[in-house]
Amino acid sequence: MIKRNFSMTLMLALLAFSACGSANAKEIKLEQCEQDALAQSETLKRLKAQKAAAEENMNAASSAYYPRISLNANGGWVSEVPELKTGAASIKYGDNWNYSIGPSAEYHLYNKERKYSEAAAEKMLAAKKQEIAFAEKQIILQVRKAYFRLQQNLQRLYLLGGQLKAARQQHADIKAALSAGTKTRLDELMAKKQMNSARARISESRLNLSSALHEIFRLTSNDYGINPAYPLDSRLKDIASEAAENSLIEADSIEKTLSALSPAASMEFDQDSPRLSAMESMKEYYEYLSEQSRSALQPKLILNAGAYLQYPNGPIKESVFLGKAGASFSLPLFEGGKNSSQAKAKKHEADAAGHDKEDTRQTLLLLFKISKDSLYGLSNEEKILKEMIKDAEETSKLAYEAYKAGSVTFLEVDNANLQLLESRIALSDLEISKLNSLAAIDSLGK
């Protein structure tokens, strides 16, 4: 006589799997994956290089407030020197050789272009800093989604492993009953079909797990010592006779990750998110460039001074040390509309950046609201699924008892077992959907 019902066997199998660990299991933790992805991201490296360039551009723009000091030198030779003859005497005005050398300084006392140039450079730097912050959020979101997929396939393997172990036990019981003449060959074939179906689904899930691992490896540039060829959940090590070396995996539990991300459920949309702040900085950047072009039409006042050693000293063939100082004033009167057109062009670009920011804000807000609504709907669906699992467990038990009594065929038992498995997998998938929603809210909220 068959002594175990399927739901009890499956529960015991899952408990046995969860109790056993693997000394050879390779750990892969979400926190470590996030850190590695941030450290290895080529996108972040590119943005940080752009930020460094923006810092240098700002330093260059700020240098306009300092005087420019130069060392100037020139010299030459002429074949004829002016000469004044007075009777028998003559006076040469200089020498065939001449030179001068000395420092000079120039300072822009009034030049509004430098003010807007520096302000524009500051806004570009601010934009790059915000782009880095936004990229970090996006990278973490990508890694989390890949990790959730890993968790989803591991949990599916865990549930299917429990199904397989229970199906094998049930198949053995029916074979014994067949030998005793209390069950038919059809019963044995149906039990075998149930067992092989679980094996096939485990194989499919292992392939999906391999794909999830490769995605994590790509994002983190780290394989964590894991062999991605046909991997398996470490909790199923006792049925992993075909598992390759270093292919048993241990990851964070779904429950642990849900607990860590649960505070995101109370977040509100971040109206000043790094992405929107970066776009606002770019809008202001173009506005300052527009003002810079417009200020090119305003006057400039430049002071200059210097000291130099000169030879000859007029008609006297000797070196002399001289000083000089002066000022220059310039006001553009006609330049064909070049600067005014450039100013208008940059203003149009600023307007375009403003519209782009608003469009992006609406898109991000929509994604945030969808994630929030999805989280609410999933929480309600979770309650229904848990009730369905409870009913499915009872149905599986009753169906098996009826089968033992001979009032139903094994087909009804198989259907009840499958319904229980699918309900548990559905609950696991729903939890992964909750994680994806929480991760999106965490990325967009505050």
pLDDT digits (tens, 9 = 90+) for 311-357: 988 778 889 999 999 999 999 988 888 999 999 999 999 999 999 99
CB contact burial 209-238 (16+ within 10 A = b; e otherwise):
bbebbebbbebbebebebbbeebbbbbbbe
Instruction: Name beta bridge partners: 73.
Output: 101
235 DSSP assignment: G
Neighbours of 379 (CB within 10 A): 13
| pLDDT at residue 244, as a whole number | 62
| pLDDT at residue 46, as a whole number | 96
Query: What domains appear along the chain, each with residue ranges and CATH number?
Result: 6-67+111-297+337-444 (1.20.1600.10)
pTM here is 0.82
Distance of alpha carbon 158 from alpha carbon 421, whole angstroms: 11
| pLDDT at residue 1, as a whole number | 40
337 DSSP assignment: T
Tell me the longest C-alpha to C-alpha distance in the chain: 152
Q: Which position has the token pair 């943005």? A: 47
Distance of alpha carbon 151 from alpha carbon 213, whole angstroms: 10
| pLDDT at residue 243, as a whole number | 56
Cα dihedral 76, 79, 83, 89 in deg (nearest 10)? 120
User: Reading across the β-sheet that carries 320-330, which strands appear in turn?
Assistant: 68-77, 97-110, 300-311, 320-330
Parts of the chain with a pLDDT under 70: 1-23, 87, 238-245
| pLDDT at residue 245, as a whole number | 64
